[in-house]
Amino acid sequence: MKNTITLVLMLVLMFFMLPIQAQEITSCPEQRAMMCTMDYRPVCALNKDKSEKSYSNACTACADKNIVSHVPGVCPPHTLSAAEVTALFSDNTYTAVIPSRKLTMDIYVDPDGTMRGMQAGHKFTSQWQVNEQGQICVSYKDKMNCRFVMLEDGQYKKYKLDEQGQKVVLVVYKSFASGNIHNF
């Protein structure tokens, strides 16, 4: 009897929870807001291209014409697949910062496996590839260093895992542009 009551209670709770979860996804209206308040009630918004980005509130998210819908809370980090990493870097120029060294770099990533750019005022050339795990691998001192790339709050970041399995951000990518815009 006790097991039957527990089962019935679980089913009733599941029944009442389903509509609440379905209501959490909010579609953006066709008429977009021109101005929004600056209150902080974060939402995770879904772009037309299926990417996610966190916004400070629903109004700010839906003011962006590329946003389709949103759910409460900030977006969880997303580690990119091999195909996503390749599409992000190949034949693009990026500007990035190494936070630990406060170093900015501009790099063109050639589809032929070569990287060329400027780092701390010095030109350099390196090799790159993407492995099966989706890590971008870059040659440094005759060794290929492979790291994962994640998308967190609308920003791409390269990271490694420390001894405790925690993500340590190594590079923050500030922008990407199509092609070799600096003629490296």
% of the chain beyond a pLDDT of 90: 66
Residue 49 sits at φ, ψ, to 5 deg, of -85, 10
CA distances from 111 to 40, 64, 121 (A): 41, 32, 24
Residue 34 sits at φ, ψ, to 5 deg, of -90, -30
Q: Report the predicted TM-score, pTM, of the whole model to 2 decimal places.
A: 0.65
Q: Is 21 helix (H, G, I), strand (E, B) or coil?
A: helix
Quick one: pLDDT band at residue 75, thresholds 50, 70, 90? confident
Report how far residue 99's alpha carbon sits from residue 110's, in angstroms, rounded to the nearest whole number: 25
Quick one: pLDDT band at residue 56, thresholds 50, 70, 90? very high
At 111 the pLDDT is 97
At 14 the pLDDT is 42
In this predicted model, what pLDDT tens digit does every residue of 16-47 receive, in sequence order? 333 334 448 899 999 999 999 999 999 988 88
- List, in sequence order, the alpha helices (H) in the chain: 2-24, 58-63, 82-89
Q: Is 164 helix (H, G, I), strand (E, B) or coil?
A: coil
At 169 the pLDDT is 94
Does the pLDDT at position 9 exceed 50? no
At 23 the pLDDT is 47
All domains in the chain, ordered by first residue? 2-72 (no CATH), 79-178 (2.40.128.640)
Report how far residue 134's alpha carbon sits from residue 168's, in angstroms, rounded to the nearest whole number: 17
Does the pLDDT at position 50 exceed 50? yes
In this predicted model, what pLDDT tens digit does every residue of 117-142 receive, in sequence order? 999 889 999 999 999 999 999 998 88
The vertex-141 CA angle with 79 and 126, nearest 5°, equals 65
Structure tokens at 67: 């946003």
Which residue(s) pair with 56 in the sheet?
none
Structure tokens at 61: 């998210």
